[in-house]
Amino acid sequence: RSPRAALEAARWEADVYRREQQDLVRETCLRQRENARLHRQQAEAKHEAIELGVRLDALRAAEAGAPARAAELQAVRQRHAMLQRIAAEFSEALENKRVECDSWRRWAVQRGVAVEAEDDEDQEADGPAKDASE
């Protein structure tokens, strides 16, 4: 093989590897967006379950003979406590996801991959994340 042919083969191989890497980055971004969508869906379902649980608690308290206002107040207090726990979970998950996204973006930029700018809704919707090595 001539040096020129070897150089062309090496360039071609490098180009193939670069395209594969770009495809992997795109696939990772798509998976992250899908994860964010699923996270939103899960949050909506969890919120609905909380509301139904509060209604059920209020109905049970009313059946047990508690005055309607007292039962409603108890249900609202329980819901408030539960929503505070969920808000703390979501805050932690959002921060973890931001760290992971930043790590992935730095990784992509270091390798010369064009990083798409996400709109605000996608950034806010991102859920929990772990180390970018996963």
Q: Find the helix or strand (DSSP H, E) in which 72 lies.
A: helix 68-110
Predicted local distance difference test score (pLDDT) of residue 83: 82
Whether the model pTM is above 0.85: no
- Tokens 């921060």 belong to 95
Task: Supply the DSSP string of 45-76, one letter for each residue.
Answer: HHHHHHHHHHHHHHHHHHHTT--HHHHHHHHH
Domain positions in the chain are: 3-116
Residue-wise pLDDT tens for the chain (134 aa)? 799 999 999 999 999 999 999 998 888 888 888 888 888 888 888 888 888 888 887 777 777 776 777 777 777 888 888 888 888 888 888 888 888 888 888 887 887 766 665 544 444 444 444 444 43
93 Cβ contact partners less than 8 Å away, ≥ 6 residues apart:
39, 127, 128, 129
Predicted local distance difference test score (pLDDT) of residue 114: 66
